[in-house]
Amino acid sequence: MKAEILNKRKKWLDKPAAQSLDDWPKKADELQGFTGTLKYFGIKQSSNEYEINSIGANSYFRQSLDLFKVVLEKQILKEDIGLPSLEMPPQYDALITIVGFSPEPIMHTVLALAPNKVYPIATIESAEYYKVPLNPESKQRDGKIWFFETIIKHYKEAQQSITVEPIVRNVSAIGSLETFKRVREIIQATKENNLNAKIALDITGGKKSADASAFLIAAIEEDIDIYYVDFEDYTGAKACCGTEFLNKLDNPYNIYNIQLLNKAKELFKYHNYQAAAQIFSEIDERLSSNELDNPVKFYLDDERSKVDKMKNAAICYMYWDRFDYECAQECQSVLSDKQKTQLNNLILFEGIGTKKERYQSCYLYDFIVDRILSAKRRALSDISLYEYEGDYHDAVFRYAQCLEILIETYITRKVSNYDPDVKSKSIYSISGKRELVFKGRKKSEKDNDGNRIDFQMDPLDDPENELRKKTKSLSERRDDFAHVRIQTQKSNIQEAEEVIMKFMEIVFEKTSEIIDHDLEEYAFYKYFDDYGSLCKS
């Protein structure tokens, strides 16, 4: 296998370099330990210092790096060479590299990408391996890796300027949290100096836990390119020299739009359906086969199907929340059977012509439940105080609206000669309606001849006038747009719900337990399951 790969690569090189592929990769594969590493780079060591020896100009690394750059160029040109294609790398401001005990692939990345700065992340053990001196103050090997400095200084191109930063702080050899924190520190510090800084991460070196941790934080952060030096051939677990190539790893956070998706879900959870729908639509476009190479590779069709369901749920709830029931019905496939039934009942209710017929309709209950849930969504009583304040007045307005309808429904059903659709056979003001309900007597509006009807009914049982007072307060708050303190808002909302609940029990002759159950049953769902379907938790 290796011979086939090298023969393929010979065609990309000039004759002397092609002929050397028969020799140096085999010899490089035989090198072992740190002594072998020194020979690979053409370096000699004197105490803790390093310098390029006489064979450095034609070292194994020089030949490997030259070949590596040829391969990289073909990847960028998207030639059909059996390797993943790459976009032209930008000039990186920072390259973060995880330092293990194999510097060979790390140096390929550094010298191929030639970033302005290299930030090594090393354990005490790996720093000691490269003879980083112990800092007497910090008790850590947190200085510069002169071994890297020597290699870069000798092998970089003349116009390139690459600075290797000190280690600063060693990370633990066991566990991944310290690596996660250190990578994040470097990213944040780099972006503080330059918000548009180009940052890359090489996870070739280091233990698997450190590499995984570094990959995770780079994936979470935006616009971090993640690289890995891979090999086309291995002998057992050992990589074969001369088969190196640079691989840019796909970032699942970008591919699956994880951050955008979480933002849309959060907006949906707190009932901002329009904004959620817009983001879901944006994600849907990004996941389209026109936007990404090989979408089947990442199961993006499944992901698009999931996002499409979430988008339709947001659109459906957006229209429903605006009481545009017919538009909501167009995308009702995402709803539960009970919500579909409720939506259909609301459409039927909207089609009833007169108030009197509406107040006698069996669909009135669905209408009131819907209006209460609409008010609850605006109260937002289950999140932080500063967000709670948002739609307080809108919530109060909807509760007051429910109250007026419930009171007039009660009167219409109890007083035979009361007609809510005829001004002279009804009571126009809410205060007049309250008077009839709580006192049992009130005159109608005047007809054209100045006559009035004297309405009479059994007053509600309210010996302490508590319900009457709360009813009056809610009606008055409907048009009160003065600033109200947060705690007062909460108290007012709670009182409004108590009043509405009491009148629902009276009008619909249902227990509070049944009404509470229905409110919970028909409330908009806040969450999505793993398949993009609506769920309650």
> Is it the case that residue 392 has pLDDT exceeding 90?
no
444-488, pLDDT tens digit by residue?
A: 888 777 888 889 999 999 888 899 999 998 988 877 766 667 778
pLDDT tens per residue, range 212-264: 777 777 766 778 898 999 999 988 878 899 999 999 887 766 655 777 888 89
Is position 27 within any domain?
no
More confident residue, 254 or 355: 355
- Does 394 fall in a domain? yes
- Check whether residue 217 and residue 313 sit in a common domain: no
What CATH number is attached to the domain comprising 83?
A: 3.40.50.10770
- Among candidates 425, 420, 399, 416, which has minimal Cα distance to 408? 420
- Alpha-carbon distances of 535 from 114, 276, 381, 532, rounded to whole Å: 50, 16, 20, 9
Same domain as 302, residue 259: yes
Domain range for 294: 254-334
Task: Name the pLDDT band for 360 (thresholds 50, 70, 90).
Answer: very high
Residues in contact with 13: Cβ distance below 8 Å, sequence separation at least 6, in sequence order: 21, 67, 70
Q: Are residues 314 and 366 in the same domain?
A: no
Most distant CA atoms of the chain, gap in Å: 120
Instruction: Count the domains in the chain.
Output: 3
- For 281, the 3-state DSSP assignment is helix
* Residue range 483-536, pLDDT digits in tens: 667 778 888 889 999 999 999 999 999 999 999 999 999 999 999 998 999 998
User: Of how many residues is the chain composed?
Assistant: 537
Q: Is the pLDDT of residue 354 over 70?
A: yes
One domain, residues 244 and 280: no
pLDDT at 194 over 50: yes
> Bridge-partner residues for 455, per DSSP?
442
In a domain, 243, yes or no: yes
In a domain, 455, yes or no: no
Percentage with pLDDT > 70 across the chain:
91
CA 133 to mean position of chain CA atoms: 43
Residues 372 and 298 in one domain: no
For the cut 50, the answer to whether the pLDDT of residue 381 exceeds it is no
Residues 315 and 371 reside in one and the same domain: no
Does 224 lie in the same domain as 120?
A: yes
Tens digits of residue pLDDT in 71-95: 999 999 999 999 999 999 999 999 9
- pLDDT tens digits, residue range 142-193? 888 999 999 999 999 999 999 999 999 888 876 678 888 888 899 999 999 9
> Is the domain of 360 the same as that of 379?
yes
* 106-110, 364-368, 418-422: segment of lowest average pLDDT: 418-422
- How confident is the model over 112-138, as a mean pLDDT? 91
Task: Tell me the pTM.
Answer: 0.64
Residue 10, in any domain of the structure: no
- The tokens describing 205, both together, are 């070196």
Are 244 and 265 within one domain?
A: no
Pick the closest to residue 376 from 250, 494, 509, 265 (CA basis): 494
Residues 225 and 299 in one domain: no
> 387 pLDDT exceeds 60?
no
- Assess whether 105 and 202 both reside in one domain: yes
Residues 496 and 365 in one domain: yes
Show which of 249, 274, 303 is a domain's final residue: 249
Looking at the domain assignment, is residue 295 inside a domain?
yes
Amino acid identity, position 134:
L
Expressed in percent and rounded to 5, the helix, strand and coil fractions of the chain are 55, 10, 35
Contact between residue 118 and residue 162 where contact means Cβ atoms under 8 Å apart: yes
Say if 52 falls within a structural domain: no
Query: What pLDDT, on the 0 to 100 scale, is given for residue 388?
Result: 43
53 burial level (CB within 10 Å; 0-12, 13-18, 19+): middle
